[in-house]
Amino acid sequence: MSHKVSLTVNGTAHTREVEARLLLSDFLRHDLGLTGTHVGCEHGVCGACTILLDGVPVRSCLMFAAQINGKSITTVEGLSADGKLSPLQEAFRDAHGLQCGYCTPGILTTMTAFLAETPKPSEGDIREALSGNLCRCTGYQNIVDAVKLAAERMSAKP
């Protein structure tokens, strides 16, 4: 039995028929072709598949596509506009906050929401907010610095 879902992803409306068990992560990646959302564990630990659901970071591997009727989703593809990096993305580049880049989309969505709520974070705040996203390449230090840098730049530019 399939379910009809209508939703907005990165500002674009979509309507699709989905099987009940289709994971939201698979729906975004394979039905909508938004492969920027990465899948790392499918049990909610690694954080790579984190997306913004009505602005709030959630694991897309722990939701079913059937659940998102009427919702608005932002994926990593929606963080930049017309190829212009967001201040957070720019800071990741400047501070070398990524290596293989696989965990990066989930970290960007998580930290985008974090900075919106915590515009002037301490290093401890950042590490705490980041602790639900696993990165195997960077040792986190440059990610922390990138978030700090983004926060500074964003608060300097009101």
Within 100-119, the residues that bind another protein by CB under 8 A are 100-105, 108, 110, 114
Q: Minimal distance in Å, beta carbon 106 to another protein? A: 8
Query: Residue from 7, 9, 32, 48 that binds another protein (CB under 8 A)?
Result: 48
Query: Residue from 46, 73, 115, 151 that binds another protein (CB under 8 A)?
Result: 46
Query: Residue from 4, 14, 62, 119 that binds another protein (CB under 8 A)?
Result: 62
Pick 40 or 151: Cβ nearer another protein: 40
Per-residue burial over 52-75, b if 16 or more Cβ lie within 10 Å, else e, is: bbeeebbbbbebbbbebeeebbbb
Q: What is the CA radius of gyration of the chain?
A: 16
Q: How many residues bind another protein (CB under 8 A)?
A: 82
Query: Residue from 6, 12, 122, 141 that binds another protein (CB under 8 A)?
Result: 141
Quick check: 92 binds another protein (CB under 8 A)?
yes
